[in-house]
Structure 1
């Protein structure tokens, strides 16, 4: 069987995304950016960093900055519970951790299932949103993590990890 085929001979034309929760919304990121998923653990705080950079962890000898997406997306009350996880990602050649409320599953979306981002006005930054994935009645906001972690944010992450 070829790599692009599923059991039964049907060719796979979709891309896989890791689905995760932030508040009441479902988000998805390209599964190829994901290195691992870990439970949330205490981080070492770094002085004079923005609120969304929680600190750093030592992951098998690599210092990994931890970014809380609930704070970055200004989702209000941030509570850590047993479902809170860190998605360890490779972003722009750098390993970072992304704190989310929980991970649900890996989904495959075909181009037909991905809809363009609606125009929300100039005051709302949506350039990090690839589109909206739909599976049955479920809508998933597809995020380009490299766009989201802008050059300014990545410079902060580099400084924290140094």
Structure 2
């Protein structure tokens, strides 16, 4: 009887470990749209989602930096992801939102066309991004996920926001 009890205990431990490993291979992504494309970013980087308000423009800032907003006493730079990623221009509308991100301890806003939902994706749904021989920097794309009819481009928003051309991060900070 003890051997049977011991065997079921080991089986239960093994299934618990398998469940823990399966849970560890899942991640939650906030999905949003830029034109026809749908992107996903790690939900843990998202602080909040706000309706778009016209930021205060900063002189000589790159075109993709729309300006800054005051978020409860914190001055937050706002980046237009359409402009940053070379998408066509679009008029802002009622669906346009700012995703407020926490990147390397710095608060940054990202303007997107709309937010779709939060998806939990297992690692087997995520395929590596195709290698492209191009001058476009695709290093921030971490993978492609197919969810039903949807094709999601998963991006490392930290890598994108802390890239040198953004000028938002002190390079010594991004190396930590």
1:31 pairs with 2:43: yes
Q: Structure 1 residues 122 and 103, CA, compared in 2 at 3 Å: closer, same or farther?
A: same
Selected match of 2:53 from 26, 37, 41: 41
Q: TM-score, normalised by structure 2?
A: 0.80
For 1:102 and 1:151, the matched residues in 2 are separated by 24
* Structure 2, unaligned runs of 5 or more: 1-15, 17-21, 171-176
For 1:91 and 1:98, the matched residues in 2 are separated by 11
Question: Alpha carbon RMSD of aligned pairs, Å?
Answer: 1.7
Q: Structure 1 stretches (4+) deviating beyond 4 angstroms?
A: none
For 1:94 and 1:33, the matched residues in 2 are separated by 11
For 2:101 and 2:165, the matched residues in 1 are separated by 15
Shift in Å, 1:138: 1.0
For 1:75 and 1:127, the matched residues in 2 are separated by 17
SS in 2 for 1:57: strand
Higher share of residues assigned helix: 2
Selected match of 2:168 from 153, 157, 161: 157
For 2:153 and 2:163, the matched residues in 1 are separated by 22
Q: TM-score, normalised by structure 1?
A: 0.86
* Structure 1, unaligned runs of 5 or more: 6-10
Selected match of 1:50 from 58, 62, 71: 62
SS in 1 for 2:48: strand
